[in-house]
Amino acid sequence: MAVGVKIENVTKVFPPKVVALKNINIEIKPSEFFVILGPSGSGKTTLLRIIAGLDVPTKGRVVIGDRVVVDADKGVFVEPRDRNIGMVFQNWALYPHMTAYDNIAFPLKIKKLPKEEIDRRVKEVAEALGISDLLDRKPAHMSGGQQQRVAVARALVKQPDILLLDEPFSNLDARIRVTAREFVREIQKKLGITTILVTHDQADAFAVGDRVMVLRNGVMQQLGTPDELYGAPVNVFVANFIGDPPMNIFQLKTIHPIIDSLKIKEYIPPNNEFVYIGIRPDEAIAIKDLENAHLKGKVVILKYLGSRKYAKVKVTDDISIRVLVEDEDIKEDSEVGIYIRKLHLFGSDGKRIDTIRF
């Protein structure tokens, strides 16, 4: 039966006064695939290590299921080996001199389980992960994707309550990375195991996560589904961090002519001297009809991103907007209009005011 994880008021301070995490409160549901997303130095790996028992919080506690595994205020600490957690590291940490079979079996041998039980579990998990034919190979004779599966098998063979994944896709090339995400997500759904992934890559997060928490400088910025993070970012940081291609974000004084052109003055609270306007490239389209456009400008660059074509349109001397191009007749250096489906409005403090649909 799957268990959840509660992180309550967790703060971590490294000497002398480096605050890695500040007052983190989250509840991860049983069987959920939960993602901790953030740039380098945001505290995401520190939080994963606290859950695993590899680091101790300065304040707060962690509860796995109905068991408190760490409580900094009461001096409670359960050793990592006693938390029944499986962990997959960024470099997979396979023993090069061991076969896949022995790598997978290693944590069971440490527990001194009977040989028959070890053999049964190793073959069972290998079959579930589709690596039965790799059991006699050593890591040097496996591809990156195959090594990753062996590392996941080693974590799962312990039948853990929680599976922790620390940047498991970062060493894979682009094509294998897509397959690896699908594989991990399928296994997680099949087994129903509560899984926590740490990554700096939003594509990883959105591909596998039921919910995603965005961290910045040790502070939680937003927690929600991928749709919520993409469609309703709570502040400028999340808006800028989420999305590919990235959101167009520009700071404008409230008397700026672009605000007049967009007719959004009524949405701006009176105490804001300036605002941030956010427009996703997929929510703005280059059109040839200049009269019925929200904005207009000159195409500076055209480029493909995957199967879609985007233009960088210079609207004023200091503002250019990336927009979607659907009309094949639109060329570089041509004058175009921009039709905006939706924009995000943020106040002077960077916090979301409203999402405006046109």
306 confidence band (pLDDT: 50, 70, 90): confident
Three-class SS of residue 195? strand
Q: Are strands 194-199 and 162-166 parallel, antiparallel or unpaired?
A: parallel
Residue 127: exposure state from Cβ atoms within 10 A (0-12, 13-18, ≥19): exposed
153 vs 216, which has greater pLDDT?
Answer: 216
For 316-332, the pLDDT digits (tens) are 999 999 999 999 899 99
Whether residue 177 has pLDDT greater than 90: no
Average pLDDT over residues 219-243: 97
Q: Please give the distance of CA 151 from its chain centroid, rounded to a whole number.
A: 21
At residue 180, the pLDDT reads: 82
pLDDT digits (tens, 9 = 90+) for 247-303: 999 999 999 999 999 999 999 999 999 999 999 999 999 999 999 999 999 999 999
pLDDT at 310: 97
Position 160 pLDDT exceeds 80: yes
Determine the pLDDT at residue 288: 93
| pLDDT of amino acid 35 | 98
Q: How many CB atoms lie within 10 A of CB 159?
A: 13
What whole-number percentage of the chain has pLDDT above 70? Answer: 100
Measured CA distances, 234 to 26, 69, 276 (Å)? 17, 32, 12
Mean pLDDT over residues 303-313, rounded?
92
Q: What are phi and psi of 96, to 5 degrees?
A: -65, -25
CB 286 within 8 A of CB 299: yes
Q: Are strands 319-325 and 308-316 parallel, antiparallel or unpaired?
A: antiparallel
**Is residue 92's pLDDT more than 80?**
no
pLDDT band at 179 (very low <50, low <70, confident <90, very high): confident
pLDDT at 85: 94
H or E segment and range at residue 229: helix 226-231
Question: Between vectors from CA 30 to CA 27 and to CA 32, what angle results, nearest 5°?
Answer: 80
Distance CA 315, CA 279 (A): 13
d(CA 53, CA 145): 28
pLDDT grade, residue 146 (50/70/90)? Answer: confident
Amino acid (one-letter) located at 329 = D
From 2.40.50.140, 3.40.50.11720, 3.40.190.10, 1.20.140.10, which CATH number describes the 248-357 domain? 2.40.50.140
Q: Does the pLDDT value for residue 218 go beyond 90? A: yes
The residue extents of the domains of the chain are: 5-231, 248-357
List the structure tokens of 90: 């960024």
We find that the CATH architecture of domain 5-231 is: 3-Layer(aba) Sandwich (3.40)
Coil vs helix vs strand at 64: strand
Q: Could you report the per-residue pLDDT of 34-71, keeping only the tens digit for each? A: 999 999 999 999 999 999 999 999 999 999 999 999 99
pLDDT of residue 176: 77
Provide the phi-psi class of 56: left if phi over 0, else alpha when psi is between -120 and 50, else beta: beta
Residue 122: the pLDDT is 94
Amino acid type, 333: D
Phi/psi region, residue 108 (left: phi>0; alpha: psi -120 to 50; beta: rest), is: alpha
Supply the mean pLDDT for the chain: 94
- 290, two tokens: 């200049």
Percent of the chain with pLDDT over 90: 81
Is-contact 10 47, C-beta < 8 A? yes
- Measure the CA–CA gap between 143 and 81, rounded to whole angstroms: 29
248-357 and 5-231 share a CATH fold: no
